Amino acid sequence: MSYRAPVRDILFSLYTAAGFDALTPLYPTADRETVTAVLEGAGTLANDVLAPLNRSGDREGSRLENGQVRSPTGFDGAYKAFSDGGWHGLAAETAFGGQGLPKALETAVFEPIQAANMAFGLCPMLTVGAIEALSANGSEAQKARFLPKLISGAWSGTMNLTEPQAGSDLALVATRATPDGEAYRLDGQKIYITWGDHDLAENIVHLVLARLPDAPAGSRGLSMFVTSKRLVRDDGTLGEANGVRPASLEHKLGIHASPTCVMLYEGAKAELVGAPHQGLAAMFVMMNAARVHVGVQGVGLAERAYQQALAYSLERKQGRSAWTGAWPSRLFDHPDVRRTLMLMKARIEAARGVCLSTALAGDLARRAVNPMDRESARLREDLLTPIAKAWSTDMAVEVASQGLQIHGGMGYVEETGAAQHYRDARILPIYEGANGIQAIDLMGRKLALGKGRAVRELVGDIFPTAGALKSADDAWLHTIGARLEAGLAAVQSATGWMLERRGHAQPDALAGASAYLQLLGDVVGGWMLAKGALAASESLARGEGDKDYFRTKIGLARVYAEQVLSRAPGLAQAVSQGAIDLFRATPESLGA
């Protein structure tokens, strides 16, 4: 089944859930006509160029030959089409060849790109992150030398953090940076470097965490460096090969077309980016951008799995319809299958709204006129980032699994392609900070901001939506509002417990962190759908647009409210369970 970009759904979420209209005064060129045209163009690229390479790329994979990574057949043409379309520079600075559009629009554009071919989409995703990191931290000379080439797609970008002994604990990074005149030489090994080498771009720019000779121990001793596959002369032209090479490729469960490299730095010439020993803060620009984009990967991959499951349910006939008595009936005509499909779609639309809202908050944090509005937006972006990453990617794995379930045995074999979606999705909760770490970040750093101010402001924004739904004449809307309000009560209770326990009983708070993230994600996701339901109801009342489309938006919010939001009180209980049972468990008692 071929993928079709859900442009109408993305636009609906962008404007109703995320509130894109708030950006129009700040980005005058981002009017609705332009936004629609951009998304339609991205959809065409995804549908016609990237999606047809998804299965073949998975089967062929990337390979390492004579020290050079070779990409799957057709990826070179796809990369050229992506670069020629200007997609790398959608939100980049106009001074360096970018288009200066909002990050929220860039985030929306990347959904169909990732859905059509996630293994391919990882390459430009990382380039966009490198553009952001260098824009925020690079010197003027570095920006002038690297940004135009990255924005044009002539060069691609990577992020080099992980080492064999240093995964999520970056304090253990051991790669060395030795001064060499005005430059530095990097020596060390990095692993799990996505698109660390390939044959699509003429050069590959690596952002690398390493230690200077006088670096203090721990994460405070890390500095960020920029280096590249080929040396870059002062005038921006390319010189000879640099001292960095791929040693091997990982053999993975999924995303076979995306090369995951072990990279060796053997005296690679590099430049310091930003201040010495401030590399982790500089790299967080790229890391946080990647986390939101990984959440979007979850949305896109789930959408593709859903589309395939829906198509299969319409063609496969089995059993008797509970509604019409027809036999044999389409799978779609069985209530449990239809419930599953609607829940899949509702979760996707909820996560889409969360990711787009996170990106939009980032735009407001940079451009809002009022300093207080900028600060509130920054807190909102900080709060939602771990939710966008973790909650959306957990959703993707669940939706891909449900897609397999609808296919039955035909989903478990590779011929249908449904298994690939599940295999590809499984990396999402692991990379760019495992989801348990995102939960700890939410519980630790994000709740500490303003002693819970970010959550209080979020809850304060959600309550009016719940109230508007509860006061509506439509009983269906009333139900959504009641469930959302109950979810907010659960969030308030769990947040109060977390704020109290994290100060003097940290193990209790850590034990409840994942449940807390799921609770907050469920409720924020419900809010996204609730705003869509209100907008759909208003359109129906005015007699505008596609009635079936808007009725389905209300139905999706209802299904989500009854199937997901109804569980919020139970999740609040899980948050406050505490750590005593975990403390008492020993390796021996658990079967070691």
Q: Which residue type, as a one-letter code, is found at position 501? A: R
For residue 399, give the DSSP letter.
H
- Tokens describing residue 531: 């705003």
DSSP labels, 416-431: GSHHHHHHHHTTTTTS
Closest-CA residue to 89 (of 73, 106, 76)? 106
The DSSP secondary-structure symbol of 229 reads S
Number of Cβ within a 10 Å radius of residue 371 = 8
Task: Answer for the pair 114, 126: CB distance below 8 angstroms, yes or no.
Answer: no
Catalytic residue status for 60: no
Distance between CA atoms of 226 and 305, rounded to whole angstroms? 37
Of the candidates 15, 100, 107, the residue with the CA atom closest to the CA atom of residue 381: 107
* Number of Cβ within a 10 Å radius of residue 416: 18
The β-bridge relationship of strands 203-211 and 155-160 is parallel
Q: What is the DSSP string of 570-586?
A: HHHHHHTT-SHHHHH--
Secondary structure of 299-355 as H, E, C letters: HHHHHHHHHHHHHHHHHCECCCCCCCCCCCCEHHHCHHHHHHHHHHHHHHHHHHHHH
Task: Measure Cα distances from 508 to 369, 498, 502, 535 in Å.
Answer: 41, 8, 7, 40
Tell me the CA distances in angstroms from 151 to 39, 94, 127, 509, one per residue in order.
Answer: 19, 10, 8, 42
Q: 538-564 burial, b for 16+ CB within 10 Å, e for fewer?
A: ebbeeeeeeeeebeebbbbbbbbbeeb
CA 412/CA 152 separation, integer angstroms: 40
Say which of 93, 381, 432, 544 is annotated catalytic. 432
Is 354 within 8 Å of 344 (Cβ atoms)?
Answer: no
- Contact at 8 Å (CB) between 222 and 282? no
d(CA 109, CA 40) in angstroms, rounded, equals 9
Kindly give, in sequence order, each residue whose CB lies less than 8 Å from that of residue 284, ignoring residues fewer than 6 positions away. none
Eight-class DSSP state of 82: H
Residue 231 amino acid letter:
L
Active site positions, annotated: 432
